[in-house]
């Protein structure tokens, strides 16, 4: 640790990086959940709950429930007094973080309970730190991969010198997206399919909530209403123009740092929400950019970007609980060429092809699906394979328990996960809608990034689940009646003979009921049960 007595430490004695990092991490972890004040380089002051930090290539932090206390020299899109759900302050903008009434671990050790869980947590922190160190070692390869991706996009467009200031600013925004790209590519091989699915669901989550915002302070652009819109617009420009990030190495490392710290603190704290917000800022913007109108170049989106969308949330394993608007996210990812990246396609098998399928095809598929195939899909998780791709059926457990979910699966055997997830999210969606979203504090770019309205793209995720489910539910009314309606009729007929003997007075009304219910059921449904 970086603790030492003061003998001769004033000058010259440089603590080792590991020890100081440990001390910094220790203090950082102990500050989690505490109200803090953050000063950024324009002088503005923010307060919020300290959530996580990145210690890689600078010290970036993430605040929850942040609001501005003091306005700085530059204008920003975060109004004074407005509460932002998640505020990301990059290391380049951070001046200081003040933790009020902080108790150092040594002093406040009594405040923590001593137990096995504690030691497990410490071990986990250590192990994560080891992983982080290994990431440092392999950082060059990640950078090369990133360069490869970037060069791919650059080769398509040669008008880099003709960039407008907005595009340049968009580059800056895209830089954050790229920061997520490198860790994604890093773990591409070793990542599990369900993790990718989780990341995809997390993207859906963010897309549905449409609350992810890149917070930026601008010297010349006080007119921003939604930074997210700007971000989306810039990112879209970035995608269409294919311009390179000016500093991909730095950006990738920085994002990696965020993600790494998320790894550390997230797994420790198992707070997936935050990491989602942290890493999803650019991805959601990218998704919204794809949904932003009039970008014909989107089909040329490299598969690496697509993989970024789905993999950058690997740290949120619990995000699948929400899995809200998979349909919307997939619709935005419909341009993804599934065959380009085999590992990616195999990891997310049922979703990508479905996303590319128009809604009309989904409707028509209802008639094509036989009840037999539907039942087969329900009880066989391995049936989901499609187009020769080896797929993992991610959620075989979720379906049979829910009757409505079964209906969805019946209607569309090849993407039961999508439908089920979309349906499940409707229940959890109100919770997510209320979130203000993530904000990344950025500034000092002298350009007014007024963007096109991406409100519609943000609102789509909220609507897509309903659009996807309603036709499916409507398409299977007969099947639902087969499963649900006959049961009360049969049970009523079977229960009555046992109940009848005791109350004599009830006998007169019972026969009419029996006469009405049983013949009707036999006439309409009896053929299928006999």
Partner 1 sequence: MDSGGGEELGVGWFFSFKTTFGEEFEGQIITYDRPTEIVIIQEGTSKPEGRRNVRFLKSTYIKEVTSLRRGDDPLDAKGCLIDLAGLQAREDAALRQAEIEAERIGIGVTSEAQCIFDALSKTLPVRWDKTVIVVMDEVRVSSPYLPENVNGGTPAANERVKKVLELERRRLQARAP
Per CB under 8 A, contacts with partner 1 among 15-54 are 15, 17, 20-24, 26-35, 39, 41, 43, 49, 51
The answer to whether 71 touches 100, Cβ cutoff 8 Å, is no
Q: How far apart, in whole angstroms, are the C-alpha atoms of residue 207 and residue 288?
A: 8
Provide, rounded to whole angstroms, the least separation between the CB of residue 194 and partner 1.
23
CB atoms within 10 A of CB 447: 18
DSSP-derived 3-state class of residue 390: coil
First CA to last CA distance, the chain = 76
Which residues, numbered 146-205, are part of the site for partner 1 (CB under 8 A)? none
Short-list 52, 92, 99, 89, CA closest to 68: 89
| Near partner 1 by CB under 8 A: residue from 143, 269, 366, 455 | 269
Segment interacting with partner 1 (CB under 8 A) among 113-121, 291-299, 323-331, 487-495: 113-121
Closest CB to partner 1 among 82 and 403?
Answer: 82
The verdict on 249 binding partner 1 (CB under 8 A) reads: no
CB of 23 to partner 1, least distance (A): 4
Among 46, 90, 116, 121, binds partner 1 (CB under 8 A): 121
The nearer residue to partner 1, 104 or 515, going by C-beta atoms, is: 104
In whole angstroms, how close is the CB of 123 to partner 1 at the nearest point?
A: 11
What minimum distance in Å lies between the beta carbon of 222 and partner 1? 18
Q: Which residue from 80, 118, 343, 487 is in contact with partner 1, where contact means CB under 8 A?
A: 118
Nearer to partner 1, 145 or 272 (CB): 272
In angstroms, give the least distance from the CB of 136 to partner 1.
Answer: 10
Q: Is 268 in the site for partner 1 (CB under 8 A)?
A: yes
Listed residue (343, 342, 420, 414) closest to 383, CA to CA: 414
- Residue whose C-alpha is closest to residue 289's, from 342, 329, 232, 335: 232
Q: Among the candidate windows 10-18, 203-211, 290-298, 457-465, which touches partner 1 by CB under 8 A? A: 10-18
* Under rule CB under 8 A, residue 321 binds partner 1: no
Based on CB atoms, which residue is closest to partner 1, 2 or 385?
A: 2
State in angstroms the smallest separation of the CB of 146 from partner 1: 21
Which of 242, 257 has the CB closer to partner 1? 257
Instruction: List own/partner pairs for 523-529 with CB under 8 A and 24 or more apart.
Output: 525/481, 525/482, 525/485, 525/486, 525/489, 528/482, 529/486, 529/490
CB closer to partner 1, 125 vs 345: 125
> x/- string (CB under 8 A) for partner 1, residues 123-142?
-xx-----------------
Residue position matching structure tokens 């392999």: 138
The pair phi, psi for residue 54, each rounded to 5°, is: -120, 130
Cα distance between residue 523 and residue 251, in whole Å = 69
Q: At its nearest, how many Å lie between partner 1 and the CB of residue 421?
A: 25
Nearer to partner 1 among residue 123 and residue 470 (C-beta): 123
What CA dihedral angle connects 468, 471, 473 and 474, to 10 degrees? 170
**Residue 515, both tokens:** 């006469």
With left for phi above 0 and alpha for psi between -120 and 50, is residue 15 left, alpha or beta? beta
Site for partner 1 in 209-228 (CB under 8 A): none
Min dist CB 466 to partner 1, Å, is 24
Answer for the pair 523, 477: CB distance below 8 angstroms, yes or no. Answer: no
Minimum Å gap between C-beta 33 and partner 1 is 3
51-70 residues near partner 1, rule: CB under 8 A: 51, 55, 57-59, 64-65
* 29 contacts 125 by C-beta, under 8 angstroms: yes
Question: Binder to partner 1 among 80, 122, 474, 477 (CB under 8 A)?
Answer: 122
85 vs 280: CA distance, rounded Å? 14
Of 202-210, 262-270, 351-359, 455-463, which segment contacts partner 1 by CB under 8 A? 262-270
Decide whether 29 or 468 has the Cβ nearer to partner 1.
29
CA distance 245 to 152: 12
User: Is residue 364 at the binding interface for partner 1, with CB under 8 A as the rule?
Assistant: no
Q: How far is the CB of 433 from partner 1 (least distance, A)?
A: 14
Element (H, E) at 53: strand 45-54
- Taking only Cα atoms into account, the Rg of the chain, rounded to an integer number of angstroms, comes to 27
Of the candidates 244, 249, 74, 94, which has an alpha carbon nearest to the alpha carbon of residue 174? 244
Between 22 and 392, name the residue whose CB sits nearer to partner 1.
Answer: 22
Residues 91-110 that bind partner 1 (CB under 8 A): 91, 94-109
Give which of 351, 361, 350, 355 is closest to 332, Cα–Cα: 355
Q: Distance between CA 44 and CA 492 in Å, rounded?
A: 70
SS3 of residue 21 by DSSP: helix
78 binds partner 1 (CB under 8 A): no
Stretch that binds partner 1, among 269-277, 319-327, 405-413, 493-501 (CB under 8 A): 269-277
Residue 389: φ, ψ to 5°: -95, 135
Least distance CB 270 / partner 1 (angstroms):
7
Helix (H, G, I), strand (E, B) or coil at 73: coil
Q: Which residue of 46, 117, 189, 320 would you call a contact of partner 1, by CB under 8 A?
A: 117
């Amino acid at each position: 640790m970086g603790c030492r007595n003061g003998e001769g430490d004033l000058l010259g004695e440089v603590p080792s990086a590991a020890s100081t990092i440990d001390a910094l991490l220790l203090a950082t972890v102990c500050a989690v959940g505490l109200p803090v004040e953050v000063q950024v380089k324009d002088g503005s002051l923010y307060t919020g709950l300290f959530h996580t930090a990145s210690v890689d290539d600078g010290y970036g932090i993430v605040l929850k429930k942040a609001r501005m206390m003091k306005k700085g020299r530059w204008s920003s899109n975060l109004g004074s007094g407005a509460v932002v759900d998640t505020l990301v302050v990059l290391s380049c903008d951070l001046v200081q973080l003040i933790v009020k009434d902080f108790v150092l671990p040594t002093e406040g050790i009594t405040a923590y309970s001593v137990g096995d869980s504690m030691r497990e947590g410490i071990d986990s922190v250590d192990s994560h730190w080891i992983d982080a160190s290994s990431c440092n070692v392999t950082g060059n390869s990640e950078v090369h991969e990133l360069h490869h991706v970037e060069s791919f996009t650059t080769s398509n467009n040669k008008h880099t010198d003709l960039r407008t200031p907005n595009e340049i600013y968009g580059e800056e925004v895209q830089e954050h997206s790229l920061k997520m790209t490198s860790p994604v590519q890093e773990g591409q091989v070793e990542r599990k399919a369900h993790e990718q699915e989780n990341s995809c669901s997390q993207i859906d989550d963010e897309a549905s909530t449409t609350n992810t915002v890149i917070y930026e302070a601008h010297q010349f652009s006080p007119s921003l209403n939604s930074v997210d819109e700007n971000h989306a617009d810039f990112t879209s420009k970035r995608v269409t123009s294919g311009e390179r990030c000016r500093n991909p190495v730095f950006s990738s490392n920085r994002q990696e740092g965020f993600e790494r710290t998320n790894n550390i603190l997230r797994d420790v704290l198992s707070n997936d929400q935050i990491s989602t917000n942290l890493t999803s800022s650019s991805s959601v913007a990218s998704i919204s950019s794809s949904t932003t109108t009039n970008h014909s170049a989107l089909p040329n989106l490299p598969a690496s970007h697509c993989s970024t969308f789905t993999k950058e949330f690997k740290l949120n394993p619990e995000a699948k609980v929400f899995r809200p608007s998979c349909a919307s996210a997939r619709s935005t990812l419909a341009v993804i060429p599934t065959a380009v990246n085999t590992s990616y396609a195999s990891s997310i098998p049922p979703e990508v092809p479905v996303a590319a399928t128009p809604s009309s095809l989904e409707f028509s598929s209802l008639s094509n699906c036989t009840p037999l195939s539907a039942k087969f899909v329900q009880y066989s998780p391995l049936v989901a394979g499609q187009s020769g791709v080896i797929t993992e059926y991610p959620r075989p457990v979720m379906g049979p328990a829910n009757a409505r979910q079964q209906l969805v699966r019946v209607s569309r055997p090849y993407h039961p996960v999508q439908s089920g997830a979309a349906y499940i999210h409707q229940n959890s969606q109100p919770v997510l809608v209320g979130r203000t979203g993530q904000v990344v504090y950025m500034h000092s770019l002298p350009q007014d990034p007024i963007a096109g309205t991406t409100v519609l793209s943000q609102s789509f995720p909220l609507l897509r689940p309903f659009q996807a489910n309603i036709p499916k539910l409507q398409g299977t009314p007969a099947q639902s009646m087969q499963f649900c309606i006959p049961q009360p009729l049969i049970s009523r007929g079977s229960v009555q003979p046992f109940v009848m003997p005791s109350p004599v007075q009830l006998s007169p009304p019972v026969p009419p009921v029996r006469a009405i219910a049983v013949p009707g059921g036999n006439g309409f449904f009896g053929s299928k049960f006999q």
